[in-house]
Amino acid sequence: MTATAVTEPVRSAIPFLDLAAINSEVDQTIAEAWKGVQSTQRFIGGPHVDRFEYDWAAYCGTRHAIGVANGTDALELVLRALGIGPGDEVILPANTFTATAEAVVMAGAQPRFVDVDHESLLVSAETIRTALNSRTAAIIPVHLYGHMPNMQEILDLANSAGIAVIEDAAQAHGSTWRGRKAGSIGVAGCFSFYPGKNLGAYGDGGAIVTDDDALADKIRSLSDHGRASNSKYAHDAAGRNSRLDALQAIVLSAKLPRLDGWNRARQEAVTHYAEYLSEWSGSLVRATGDAISAYHLNVIRVADRGRIQEELLHQGTQTGIHYPTPLHVFSFYGHPGGPLPVAEEAAASVLSLPLSPNITADQIERVCSQLLEVTESA
């Protein structure tokens, strides 16, 4: 080696989410279970799906879990099974992934966007109340980033208004509010198993959990071509095809025993971030009240986000934005368009920092020192 060679070791980039590390823990278990499916050729439904549904319901503390094709379908199927459709309005926060609103549109109802609490960035009874009217049929609180709002206040409001509470728990696998799991509090809870979620499949997947026997039967039928139970060609309704397949169920069953450990690792990482950033002037979006978050995302709020994101990337740190556009801004949702000042401010300032169950203390420290440097250089 000559004296002019690079002597400084190049430090590796810090990924936003290290999915490969998560999946490598279960690859072997999955490969073995998959051999069994190859021998029976039961690719859709079957014993692996039954077992995952049973275990997911037990984990969530509900009577039923119904596997479906993705989280968006889960929301749409609950709305349809509840008879919500044309002429109805469904209240939801403006700062969520577009899928929450798409499901309402697919069911034939009108999304009605509301603002969120300025600290939690979640809906509250106060923000929901502003949008209630005689056409309101349901409210979909979104457990954004894994955090849950005061569900008792929301249930009380919904009960007095005679409307349903449907939880969008797509970012909250294992989050709890007063000891109750996300998804188990409203009339139904909807999950996505998109690969990057806290519990992720090897493709698309989703589930609905509920304690309501009749609703569970209806959802199961609608998600499988409106089939009458145990019948191939007797149909009760014009349903659709939205089912979970055996491969995804195998992956989810292999990962489920590790979910709590992974969530704990995420919580610890978030605590480390807070320690390193204790002197920082910016703000961290954290679970509030009686919620214990599964910390799907680790979100901060910064002014001058575009520059900060670019400078972090330049130093090897990948970040995300969840989400850059509040949904009431999209004209295709046909909403009068706000103003919804908190959701708008959040869309302009939120930045999600790297977070994986296996992120190291060293990586967290590097991200934090980079963040301190780029925000102080403004």
The answer to whether residues 283 and 87 touch, using CB atoms and an 8 Å cutoff, is no
The closest alpha carbon to 104, from 82, 124, 121, belongs to 82
Q: How far is the CB of 9 from ligand PLP (least distance, A)?
A: 37
**Of the two residues 96 and 176, which places its CB atom closer to ligand PLP in the complex?**
96
The closest alpha carbon to 207, from 228, 235, 230, 184, belongs to 184
The closest alpha carbon to 193, from 28, 299, 321, 65, belongs to 65
**Of the two residues 120 and 375, which places its CB atom closer to ligand PLP in the complex?**
120
Q: How far is the CB of 240 from ligand PLP (least distance, A)?
A: 14
Give the residue closest to ligand PLP by C-beta: 71
**Of the two residues 184 and 192, which places its CB atom closer to ligand PLP in the complex?**
192
The answer to whether residues 289 and 150 touch, using CB atoms and an 8 Å cutoff, is yes
**Of the two residues 64 and 143, which places its CB atom closer to ligand PLP in the complex?**
143
**Of the two residues 249 and 277, which places its CB atom closer to ligand PLP in the complex?**
249
94: Cβ–Cβ under 8 A, 6 or more apart, which residues?
A: 113, 114, 115, 116, 326, 327, 328, 338, 340, 343, 344
Size of the site for ligand PLP (CB under 6 A): 15
What is the residue-wise DSSP string for 29-95? HHHHHHHHHHHHT--BSSHHHHHHHHHHHHHHT-SEEEEES-HHHHHHHHHHHTT--TT-EEEEESS
Q: How far is the CB of 98 from ligand PLP (least distance, A)?
A: 8
Q: Identify residues 90-109 at the interface with ligand PLP (CB under 6 A).
A: 96-97, 99-100
**Binding test (CB under 6 A) with ligand PLP, winner from 192, 263, 298, 319:** 192
The answer to whether residues 290 and 271 touch, using CB atoms and an 8 Å cutoff, is no
Binding mask 13-52 for ligand PLP (x = CB under 6 A): ----------------------------------------
CA distance 334 to 342: 20
Query: What CA–CA distances, in Å, run from 15 to 3, 301, 361?
Result: 32, 20, 14
Q: Cβ atoms within 10 A of the Cβ of 7, count?
A: 7
Identity of the amino acid at 208:
I
> Does 113 interact with ligand PLP (rule: CB under 6 A)?
no
Q: Identify residues 322-351 at the interface with ligand PLP (CB under 6 A).
A: none
Binding mask 128-147 for ligand PLP (x = CB under 6 A): --------------x-----
Instruction: Give the DSSP letter of residue 317.
Output: B
Give me 302's structure tokens: 């910064």
**Of the two residues 350 and 368, which places its CB atom closer to ligand PLP in the complex?**
350
> Does 370 interact with ligand PLP (rule: CB under 6 A)?
no
CA distance 31 to 10: 35
Q: How far is the CB of 102 from ligand PLP (least distance, A)?
A: 9
Instruction: Give the DSSP letter of residue 171.
Output: T
> Does 70 interact with ligand PLP (rule: CB under 6 A)?
yes
The answer to whether residues 116 and 95 touch, using CB atoms and an 8 Å cutoff, is yes
CA distance 99 to 325: 13
> Does 72 interact with ligand PLP (rule: CB under 6 A)?
yes
**Of the two residues 165 and 308, which places its CB atom closer to ligand PLP in the complex?**
165
> Does 200 interact with ligand PLP (rule: CB under 6 A)?
no
**Of the two residues 186 and 206, which places its CB atom closer to ligand PLP in the complex?**
206
Q: Identify residues 162-181 at the interface with ligand PLP (CB under 6 A).
A: 168, 170-171
Q: How far is the CB of 142 from ligand PLP (least distance, A)?
A: 5
* Segment contacting ligand PLP by CB under 6 A, of 66-74, 78-86, 237-245, 340-348: 66-74
Instruction: Give the footprint of ligand PLP on this chain (CB under 6 A).
Output: 70-72, 96-97, 99-100, 142, 168, 170-171, 192, 194, 204, 206
